[in-house]
Amino acid sequence: MSNKSKYDINKDLKKLKDLGIPLNQWCDVSDDVYHNQAPGISASGLKIIRFETPSKYIDRKRNGEQKNSEALLLGRAIHKYILEPHDFYEEYLFMTEKSTRRGDRHWKIFLNENDPNGDKIILKSKTKEILEGIEASLKKKKSGQHISTYTGLIHNMVSSREQALFTVDKTRDILLKIKVDINMHEAMFDLKSTTNCNVVDFMSQAARLGYGLQAAVYLKVAELAGVLSTKFGFVAVEKEPPYDHSVIIMREEDVLLEKQALEKLLDKYAYYLHNDVWPGPNGIDISTGWEPLFVIGELPAWYRYQLEEMNGFEGV
């Protein structure tokens, strides 16, 4: 890190104060404010740096996210429907059989009656079936249980939903933020839609998609903020009938490995932030602050082996 940082954390702290967001306290923050207005890096931002490139992270931060995919829109709708059902219809609207042809008379009447301001997200009628199916699955009592996941975990009297937490990593002088789907105070859970909620298959998906990194970030922020939370888990729910679901808590040993990897990732992020240097896919030489002018490209081993066979090399 350079002696003179190009990043001033005090500006971000002032922005937080102007938004009415406290440090080290759970707070209610809308998705728009959390993602688009509130400063600080989240788990999703760190995922981009780790699994893609720092350059892509800063580009999306400065220029906005790319167009939402259908899968992402469905995921957000599931979150809203399950976690915040009280105001779901203030944000979303389902099509009807007569309103499916966009632009015709029925469509215009439908919008005029149901979304005159044009500010709602319109979902297909099929999506309503999915949301209702997922809700029914979560409300169903499994064999041997006297309470459902919906009432026993998600909407438990002591749990809270969609709360944010902001804190400062003082060793690196960076601002971190999280927004937790389900907070049981000693454990945090994330609602994940999936194609397979079997624990083995889901954890394989977790490895591919960086869910472990998310767990490490959430627990790191809780620790820095002085909040009691020592476990992280998932409510994994399938998107097709019968909408099976599993409640999965990450193994402590795996969380520890993710936490160790996170420390190195935060070191890199702090360097990028304080020096305003956001390298592409080939990284950066921290000793010089330069990206490589060129890199040596090596053919994959399997292809070299084929070439050697073609050239008559038989090996030992």
Q: Does the pTM of the predicted model rise above 0.85?
A: yes
E runs forming strands in 156-226: 160-169, 174-183, 187-194
Write down the pLDDT at residue 106.
Answer: 83
2 has a pLDDT exceeding 70: no
CA 155/CA 184 separation, integer angstroms: 10
Helix (H) or strand (E) holding 16: helix 9-18
Q: Does domain 9-49+141-275 have CATH number 3.90.320.10?
A: yes
N- to C-terminal Cα separation, the chain: 49
CA distance 135 to 128: 11
Cβ-contact 32, 80 below 8 angstroms: no
Separation CA 33–CA 35 (nearest Å)? 6
Residue 60 pLDDT greater than 90, yes or no: yes
So what's the pLDDT on residue 292? 87
Cis peptide, bond prior to residue 241, ω within 30 of zero: no
pLDDT at res. 37: 95
**Using an 8 Å Cβ cutoff, are 93 and 122 in contact?**
yes
Spatial separation of the C-alpha atoms in residues 46 and 56, rounded to whole Å: 11
**What is the rounded CA–CA span in Å between residue 10 and residue 162?**
26
Mean pLDDT of 29-38: 94
pLDDT, position 1 = 46
What tokens appear for 232 in the block?
């992280």
| Amino acid 235: pLDDT | 98
Where is average pLDDT lowest: 145-159, 203-217, 241-255? 145-159
pLDDT in tens, 262-311: 999 999 999 999 999 999 999 888 788 888 888 899 999 999 999 999 99
Report pLDDT digits (tens) over 183-236: 997 899 999 999 999 999 999 999 999 999 999 999 999 999 999 889 999 999
Residue with tokens 């601002």: 175
Percent of the chain with pLDDT over 90: 77
Average the pLDDT over 234-242 and give the result.
Answer: 97
Contact 193, 234 (CB under 8 A): no
Question: pLDDT by residue (tens digit) across 64-116?
Answer: 766 667 888 999 999 999 999 999 999 999 988 777 777 788 888 888 889 89
Q: Of 98, 127, 126, 130, which is closest to residue 114 (Cα–Cα)?
A: 98
> What is the residue-averaged pLDDT of the chain?
93
The percentage of residues in the chain with a pLDDT greater than 70, rounded to a whole number, is 97
Detail the DSSP E strand segments found in the chain.
Answer: 27-28, 92-94, 121-123, 160-169, 174-183, 187-194, 231-238, 245-249
pLDDT band at residue 315 under the 50/70/90 scheme:
low
* Band of residue 144 on the pLDDT scale cut at 50, 70, 90: confident
Cβ–Cβ under 8 Å, residues 187 and 229? yes
